[in-house]
Amino acid sequence: MHRIAPTPSGYLHLGNAANFAANALLAEGGPLLLRIDDLDRARFREEYLQDVFDVLRWLEIEWTHGPRDPADFEAQWSQEYRMPAYRKALAQLRQQPGVFACPCSRKELAGGGHRHGCLAGAVDPDRRDVAWRIDTRQHPLHDSMPWFAVRKKDGRPSYQLACTVDDMHFGITACARGADLRDSTEAQALLSDLLGYPQLHERIRFVHHPLLTEEGEKISKRQGARGVRERGVEREEVFAIAHTWLGA
């Protein structure tokens, strides 16, 4: 199962559209899931949700699994419905020695952090306003994504946690994502190990594609900031970018 996993927190831009195209090309007409990641309800807007469907239809991408339209999405596909699965994974992680509760602010973390005995397990994980974080000291991710969170301070699952659980839940086997998500892929591999899932790299083939090239940027400027469908871009141009990415 391949996946297209947009976040409805803004109008889609050309890079998102080309990513959709890349995943559709990789899926080669096989199972393709549309998974809309709406954990961040604060930034969610109905028009952004609609935009996802509009862009997919404009690109003439046919997905085999997932919501057919915004109403179907809200009725049964929102990540809110998978909250029990995220909570179960968090309960499992809570028992792991490499996971710790941390009340540190962004500023405290930037200054070295963990002066509350976080790493020694001194913070009650059930306290209000504590994040649950991964001890990355022994991991290469420590340089780029130190102490990444699995549960946020508001008690909700982090993107990394939800994405890992969802990929397992839906049996995802391949995915094209931007090179900017390489660290996320590593973080999700680490979480897969902690959760006892099969090794992520054996299970999912991640193709990290480059971000928009200079030529893509030019096309992007032509279409303006509002949305990829609005003006000037042809469907073929979007697929041409995706082809370039996959051929690279």
Q: Which is nearer to Zn ion, 116 or 139 (CB)?
A: 116
Tell the residue number behind the tokens 């397992």, with chain if given.
Answer: 168
In 3D, which of 88, 102, 124, 121 has the Cα closest to residue 196? 88
Smallest gap from Cβ 126 to Zn ion, in A, equals: 16
Smallest gap from Cβ 95 to Zn ion, in A, equals: 19
3, 35, 82, 114: residue in contact with Zn ion (rule CB under 5 A): 114
The whole-angstrom separation of Cα 116 and Cα 220 is: 46
The whole-angstrom separation of Cα 15 and Cα 228 is: 9
Q: Please tell me whether residue 12 binds Zn ion under the rule CB under 5 A.
A: no
Q: Please tell me whether residue 99 binds Zn ion under the rule CB under 5 A.
A: no
Smallest gap from Cβ 123 to Zn ion, in A, equals: 7
Q: Which is nearer to Zn ion, 30 or 117 (CB)?
A: 117
For the chain, the three-class secondary structure string (H helix, E strand, C coil) is CEEECCCCCCCCCHHHHHHHHHHHHHHCCCCEEECCCCCCCCCCCHHHHHHHHHHHHHCCCCCCECCCCHHHHHHHHCHHHHHHHHHHHHHHHHCCCCEEEECCCHHHHHCCCCCCCHHHCCCCCCCCCCEEEECCCCCHHHCCCCCCEEECCCCCECHHHHHHHHHHHCCCCEEEEEHHHHHHHHHHHHHHHHCCCCCHHHHCEEEEECCCCHHHHHHHHHHCCCCCCCCCCCHHHHHHHHHHHHHC
Q: Which is nearer to Zn ion, 36 or 102 (CB)?
A: 102
Residues that bind Zn ion (rule: CB under 5 A) add up to a total of: 5
Smallest gap from Cβ 99 to Zn ion, in A, equals: 12
Stretch that binds Zn ion, among 40-48, 74-82, 102-110, 170-178 (CB under 5 A): 102-110
118, 175, 194, 200: residue in contact with Zn ion (rule CB under 5 A): 118
Smallest gap from Cβ 174 to Zn ion, in A, equals: 36
Smallest gap from Cβ 22 to Zn ion, in A, equals: 38
Q: Which is nearer to Zn ion, 20 or 132 (CB)?
A: 132
Q: Which is nearer to Zn ion, 35 or 114 (CB)?
A: 114
Q: Please tell me whether residue 102 binds Zn ion under the rule CB under 5 A.
A: yes
Q: Which is nearer to Zn ion, 54 or 108 (CB)?
A: 108
Q: Which is nearer to Zn ion, 42 or 128 (CB)?
A: 128
Judged by the rule CB under 5 A, the positions of this chain that interact with Zn ion are 102, 104, 113-114, 118
